[in-house]
Amino acid sequence: MRKRFIPSLLLATLLAGSAQAATVSDSLRTTVYYRTASARLELPYMDNARHLSALGDSIRALEADPAAVLRRIRIQSSASPEGNSKFNKELARKRGEELRDYLKGNLSLPDSIFTLQSLGEGWDELAEKLARTDVPWRDKALAIIRDTPEWVVREGKVVDGRKRQLMNLSGGRAWQYMMENLFDSLRSGALVVCEVERMEQVKPEPEPTSAEVRQATDMTADNTEETPSTEPESTATLYNKEDETVPQDNTEVGNGGKPFFMAVKTNLLYDAALVPNVGLEFYLGKGWSVCGDWMHAWWSKDAKHRYWRVYGGELEVRKYFGRKAAEKPLQGHHLGVYAQGLTYDFETGGKGYLSDFGYGVGVEYGYSLPVAKRLNIDFGLGVGYGGGKYKVYDPEDGCYVYKETKKRRWFGPTKAEISLVWLLGHGNENKKGGTK
Question: What confidence tens digit (pLDDT) does each residue in 193-233 have?
Answer: 888 787 765 555 566 565 555 555 555 455 544 444 444 33
Contact 419, 279 (CB under 8 A): yes
Report how far Cα 108 is from the mean position of its chain's Cα atoms. 28
**3-state SS string over 297-336?**
EEEEEHHHCEEEEEEEEEEEEEEEECHHHHHCCCCEEEEE
pLDDT for residue 23: 53
User: Do 302 and 328 meet the contact criterion of CB atoms below 8 Å apart?
Assistant: no
| Total Cβ atoms within 10 A of residue 429 | 17
* DSSP annotation of 128: H
**Element at 262 (helix H, strand E):** strand 262-267
pLDDT tens-digit readout, 70-114: 888 988 887 777 667 778 788 888 888 888 988 888 888 888 889
Of 175, 157, 155, 153, the C-alpha closest to 165 is 175
Structural contact between residues 205 and 45, judged by C-beta atoms closer than 8 angstroms: no
d(CA 219, CA 210) in angstroms, rounded, equals 14
Tell me the CATH architecture of domain 23-199.
Answer: 2-Layer Sandwich (3.30)
Closest Cα partner for 149 from 157, 138, 141, 160? 160
Q: Summarize the confidence of residues 137-156 as an average pLDDT.
A: 85
- Taking domain 262-424, whether its CATH number is 2.40.160 is answered by yes
Least-confidence region, from 68-72, 147-151, 157-161, 189-193: 189-193
Residue 339, classed as helix, strand or coil, is strand
- Give yes or no for a contact between 78 and 125, defined as CB atoms under 8 angstroms apart: yes
DSSP letters of 347-384? EESS-EEEEEEEEEEEEEEEEEEEEETTEEEEEEEEEE
Amino acid symbol at 231: E
Q: Where are the alpha helices (DSSP H) in 159-290?
A: 162-168, 173-181, 183-186, 210-222, 268-272
Question: Is residue 107 classed exposed, middle or buried when 0-12, 13-18 and 19+ CB atoms within 10 A define those classes?
Answer: middle
User: Between the ranges 257-271, 327-341, 397-411, where is the mean pLDDT highest?
Assistant: 327-341
Residue 52: pLDDT over 70: yes
pLDDT, average across residues 224-252: 38
412 pLDDT band, cuts 50/70/90, is very high
pLDDT value, residue 268:
96
Per-domain residue ranges of the chain = 23-199, 262-424
Provide mean pLDDT across the span 361-378: 95
Asked if 349 and 305 touch (Cβ cutoff 8 Å), the reply is: yes
Output the pLDDT for position 6. 41
The C-alpha angle 48, 50, 54, rounded to 5 degrees, equals 115
Q: What is the pTM of this model?
A: 0.45
